[in-house]
């Protein structure tokens, strides 16, 4: 460990090559940690440096990473990320999940685990502090998420990253489950894990993350906590209803994805968060160090659907039956498949009946590599989430420019355009959105690297998290520093995608949305966005921009 990285970071990365059966610990350079923080940023650097690979080959890598705040009591810091090349999109791809994985990874003394190669037979990686082992996993192969996780929980304490049958069969909508209830959901990251014959990672640890200035940390922690619990979005929304609070608001704004994004009207009253709450009494579940607790779990340990799942299996399939959605969610989670993509694919098939929906969800779980449909409503091969871009135009623009495909969390324009935080902005125009989306993309690239939950930013800004990062690490970080880290990561991801052959033509939306959106206004906004980013007209970062971000030498 480098002495200056002993606070916040562990200063150690575990590297496991499943082909060779080798296990090594590497000490990352200080500048790698300082310039990329952890999580998504660290993953992006590793995946970029791994070169051009086939997503399901032994050359691809999976980088599970926590951040410098993970493992401390920093509010909303209990998350982790996994970065790889996606078999669904062909882009660089990071997925982000709650649960205890990141927290326990840090307690075990590692900032990240890099998994390389392919095991000869199904295996499990077990980490208990410095004891790391690759074990026979054949007895778990063919078993879905809940059962496999329960079997592992009986053997070991700790946190569990597990794939279901979909991942084993390399379905490009396969997810990785964390502790049986949280998901690295999108982009087929579970298929990459399955392609490596890696059924699970089990991790436990007894260490403690060191904090440089405990007094300042506690003071800032209290400030963040107070601001979080005072936010109406959190206090009256996420705490009360979980993410399904959005169903009624999305219906009111007419932005639900109705009938495979056909733009129709839809009465979603049977699917409101309040309906789910009254019909299915549940326990609030929170990730480590989180005062929000947005997750809902029924008796029996089954998690209730999030907003995205309700939107994609509800209005998107013209389905008003909440019980069908709850069951579809349960099946998706158990097989380990992404509910957004599953809903998008089933909508593309024109399916709306309950029995048929549930049958197709099972089929998707059982199917292999070719589970995706090329005609589903997607950007860069990733199915769009539950917001119609015709009436939330900044969010739509963020889908188009996202470096992992059709995703709402890259810029998280849900906050200003739907929930009016930190400031209400008009969702019905592209005017001003080029700059807004750029700033929010950079912001959340940094947030994903800390790794902190985006929901925290309904109540606080990057300034508070820069302050607490300074207190934890002993290194001076300002909010501008965080934005610069975010911009560096965004540009590195862009360079990866350009190297894979993506061009300006991929920064767009499916043709059907240009019935409501002006193509000219969209292209003008894209020009403006590239200019703001310091990219040329084709969306290629200019040398001066790369030099200022410290990316030029490495390219």
Partner 1 sequence: MEELIKYGRKMVVSGLVDSHFGNVSKRVGDRMLISTTGSMLDELEGEIVSVPIDTAIPDEMDIIASSEVNLHRRIYDETSALSILHGHSRYAVALSMISGAGSLIVPRDSESLYLLHEIPVVGGGVGSDELAESVASALKDNKATIAEGHGTFARGSTVDEAFVVLSSVEHACCVKYLVDMWKNEL
Alpha helices in 292-369 (DSSP H): 307-313, 322-335, 339-348, 354-366
Contact 357/365 with Cβ under 8 angstroms?
Answer: no
For tokens 């589970």, the residue is 371
Per the CB < 8 A criterion, the answer to whether 377 and 261 are in contact is yes
Give me the 326-365 binding string for partner 1, x by CB under 8 A, dash otherwise. ----------------------------------------
Q: Residue 180 interacts with partner 1 (CB under 8 A)?
A: no
User: Tokens standing for 193?
Assistant: 């894990």
Q: Which is nearer to partner 1, 294 or 379 (CB)?
A: 294
162 contacts partner 1 (rule: CB under 8 A): no
Residue 423 sits in the site that holds partner 1 (CB under 8 A): yes
- CA–CA separation, 19 and 206 (whole Å): 29
Window of 182-190, 413-421, 443-451, 490-498 that interacts with partner 1 by CB under 8 A: 413-421
Rounded Cα gap, residues 339 and 323, in angstroms? 15
Q: Find the binding residues for partner 1 in span 493-512 (CB under 8 A).
A: none
For the chain, how many residues are written? Answer: 555
Contact stretch for partner 1 (CB under 8 A) within 73-81, 419-427, 483-491, 512-520: 419-427
Distance CA 8, CA 37 (A): 10
Site residues for partner 1, 246-265, by CB under 8 A, read 246-249, 252
Binding residues for partner 1, total number by CB under 8 A: 21
What 8-state DSSP symbol labels residue 106? H
Q: How far apart are alpha carbons 32 and 445 in whole angstroms? A: 15
Q: How far apart are CA 216 and CA 356, in angstroms?
A: 56
> Is residue 311 close enough to count as binding partner 1 by CB under 8 A?
no
Q: Between 231 and 473, name the residue whose CB sits nearer to partner 1.
A: 231
- Least distance (Å) from partner 1 to the CB of residue 230? 8
Q: Which is nearer to partner 1, 233 or 339 (CB)?
A: 233
Beta bridge partners of 124: 135, 200
By the rule CB under 8 A, 440 interacts with partner 1? no
CB of 421 to partner 1, least distance (A): 8
The CB-of-418 to partner 1 minimum distance in angstroms stands at: 8
Q: Which of residues 184-243 bind partner 1 (CB under 8 A)?
A: 232-233, 236-237, 240-241
User: β-pairing, 22-26 with 92-97?
Assistant: unpaired
Does 274 help bind partner 1 (rule: CB under 8 A)? yes
Nearest 5°: the CA angle 317, 320, 325 is 70
Please say which residue, 33 or 247, places its beta carbon nearer to partner 1.
247
Q: Name which of 367, 320, 304, 302 is nearest 341 in CA terms.
A: 367
Question: Nearest distance from residue 291's CB to partner 1, in Å?
Answer: 17
What minimum distance in Å lies between the beta carbon of 428 and partner 1?
A: 8
Residues of this chain that interact with partner 1 (CB under 8 A) are: 232-233, 236-237, 240-241, 245-249, 252, 272-274, 418-420, 423-424, 428
């Amino acid at each position: 460990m480098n002495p200056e990285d002993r606070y916040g970071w562990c200063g150690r990365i575990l590297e496991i090559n499943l082909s060779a059966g080798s296990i090594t610990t590497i000490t990352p350079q200080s500048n790698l940690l300082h310039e990329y923080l952890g999580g998504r940023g660290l993953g992006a650097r590793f995946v970029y440096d791994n070169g051009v690979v086939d997503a399901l080959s032994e050359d691809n890598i999976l980088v599970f990473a926590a951040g410098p705040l993970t493992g401390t009591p920093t509010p909303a810091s209990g998350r982790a990320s996994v970065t790889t090349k996606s078999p669904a999109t062909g882009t660089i791809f990071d997925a982000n999940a709650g649960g205890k994985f990141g927290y326990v990874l840090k307690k075990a003394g590692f900032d990240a685990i890099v998994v390389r190669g392919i095991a000869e037979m199904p295996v499990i990686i077990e980490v208990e502090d410095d004891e790391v082992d690759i074990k026979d996993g054949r007895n778990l192969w063919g078993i879905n998420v809940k059962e496999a996780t329960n079997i592992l929980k009986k053997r070991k304490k700790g946190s569990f990253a597990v794939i279901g049958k979909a991942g084993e069969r390399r379905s490009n909508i396969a997810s990785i489950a964390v502790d049986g209830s949280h998901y690295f959901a999108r982009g087929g990251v579970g298929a990459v894990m399955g392609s490596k014959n890696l059924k699970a990672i089990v991790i436990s640890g007894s260490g403690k993350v060191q904090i440089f200035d405990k007094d300042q940390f506690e003071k800032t922690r209290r400030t963040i906590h107070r601001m979080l619990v005072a936010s109406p979005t959190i206090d009256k929304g996420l705490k009360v209803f979980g993410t399904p609070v959005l169903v009624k608001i999305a219906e009111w704004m007419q932005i639900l994805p109705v009938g495979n994004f056909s733009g129709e009207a839809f009465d979603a009253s049977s699917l409101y968060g309040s309906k789910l709450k009254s019909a299915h009494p549940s326990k609030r579940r929170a990730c480590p160090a989180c005062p929000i607790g947005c997750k809902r779990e029924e008796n029996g340990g089954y998690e209730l659907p999030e907003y995205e799942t309700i939107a994609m299996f509800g209005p998107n399939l013209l389905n008003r039956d909440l019980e069908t959605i709850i069951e579809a969610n349960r099946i998706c989670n158990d097989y380990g498949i992404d509910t957004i993509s599953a809903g998008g694919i089933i909508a593309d098939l024109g399916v709306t009946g309950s029995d048929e929906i549930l049958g197709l969800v099972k089929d998707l779980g059982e199917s292999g590599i070719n589970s995706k449909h090329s005609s589903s409503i997607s950007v860069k091969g990733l199915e769009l989430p539950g917001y119609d871009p015709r009436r939330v135009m900044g969010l739509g623009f963020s889908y188009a420019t996202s470096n992992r495909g059709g995703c709402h969390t890259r810029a998280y324009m849900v906050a200003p355009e739907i929930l009016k935080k930190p400031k209400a902005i008009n969702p019905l125009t592209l005017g001003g959105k080029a700059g807004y989306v750029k700033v929010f993309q950079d912001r959340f690239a940094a947030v994903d690297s800390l790794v902190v939950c985006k929901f925290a930013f309904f109540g606080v800004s990057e300034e508070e998290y820069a302050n607490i990062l300074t207190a934890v690490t002993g290194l001076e970080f300002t909010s501008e520093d965080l934005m610069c880290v975010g911009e560096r990561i965004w540009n590195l991801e862009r360079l990866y995608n350009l190297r894979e052959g993506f061009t300006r033509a991929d920064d767009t939306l499916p043709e059907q949305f240009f019935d409501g959106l002006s193509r000219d206004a969209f292209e003008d906004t894209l020009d403006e966005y590239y200019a703001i980013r310091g990219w040329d007209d084709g969306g290629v970062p200019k040398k001066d921009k790369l030099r200022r971000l410290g990316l030029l030498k490495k390219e």
